[in-house]
């Protein structure tokens, strides 16, 4: 069963890596995968977060930082060394099937994707906090952003599709835990009852 899942992971990875391969897609996926690329997007999200509830901006920023920290550390410090699954670009049996961009690979292990965990943690925070009450379309924009960042990692051959799917789940779970804990703390210490 595990071998069959791993083979599906490799097959889908190779399909994504080959089917959409072009110079402009290489540039686009490198752009989407870079961390600094999204700074203007984060500024827009920060502005929208402020507009949705100016009184809670600092609390929400701290909560988002906690969500990202929990997601990132679960992915990078816990799961990657524990599972120790080589990234496709470091796995000699897989990387010969891929069209790789020179110098793009990352650390030795790839399960789970920290990029996917982090962007889905942010996405799910905005969902749970219902930040876009008056702009529902923004939730879909955020979801597309999270998917594009995650797929860029597969396209570049630095993660298997399973790495990004599980990374997304880690991000969603991390945010769920932080928002749940915030609810407990608010009810216990800040409730006016």
| Adjacent-strand bridge partners of 109 | 86
Q: Percentage of the chain surpassing pLDDT 90?
A: 70
Positive or negative, the CA dihedral 48, 53, 55, 60 is negative
pLDDT tier for residue 193 given thresholds of 50, 70 and 90: low
- How many Cβ atoms are within 10 Å of 87's Cβ, its own excluded? 23
Instruction: Supply the pLDDT for residue 178.
Output: 97
**pTM for this structure?**
0.92
Say how far apart CA 141 and CA 152 lie, in whole Å. Answer: 16
User: Is residue 170 over pLDDT 80?
Assistant: yes
User: What is the domain partition of the chain in residue ranges?
Assistant: 2-189
Say how far apart CA 48 and CA 37 lie, in whole Å. Answer: 19
Phi-psi region at 130: left, alpha or beta (left = phi > 0; alpha = psi -120 to 50)? left
- CATH fold for the domain made of 2-189: Vanadium-containing Chloroperoxidase; domain 1 (1.20.144)
Q: How many residues does the chain have?
A: 193
| pLDDT digit string, tens, across residues 31-79 | 999 988 999 999 999 998 998 889 989 999 999 999 999 999 999 999 9
Instruction: Supply the pLDDT for residue 190.
Output: 76
| pLDDT digit string, tens, across residues 90-121 | 998 998 888 888 778 889 999 999 999 999 99
Q: Six-digit token pair at 119?
A: 């962007």
DSSP 109: B
User: Is residue 162 over pLDDT 70?
Assistant: yes
| pLDDT digit string, tens, across residues 13-30 | 999 999 988 899 999 999
Mean pLDDT over each residue of the chain, to the nearest integer: 92
């Amino acid at each position: 069963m595990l071998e069959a899942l791993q083979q599906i992971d490799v097959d889908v990875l190779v399909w994504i890596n080959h089917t959409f391969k072009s110079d402009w897609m290489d540039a686009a996926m490198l752009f989407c995968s870079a961390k600094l690329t999204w700074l203007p997007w984060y500024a827009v999200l920060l502005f929208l977060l402020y507009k949705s509830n100016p009184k809670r901006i600092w609390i929400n920023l701290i909560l988002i930082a906690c969500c990202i920290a929990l997601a990132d550390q679960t992915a990078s410090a816990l799961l990657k060394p524990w599972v120790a699954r080589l990234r496709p670009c470091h796995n000699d049996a897989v990387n010969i099937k891929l069209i790789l961009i020179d110098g793009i690979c990352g650390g030795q292990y790839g399960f789970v994707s920290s990029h996917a965990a982090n962007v889905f943690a942010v996405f799910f925070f905005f969902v749970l906090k219902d930040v876009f009450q008056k702009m529902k379309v923004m939730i879909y924009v955020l979801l597309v952003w999270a998917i594009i960042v995650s797929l860029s990692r597969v396209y570049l051959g630095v993660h298997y599709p399973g790495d990004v799917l599980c990374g997304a789940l880690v991000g969603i779970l991390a945010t769920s835990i932080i928002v749940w804990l915030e609810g407990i703390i608010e009810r216990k210490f800040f409730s006016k009852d």
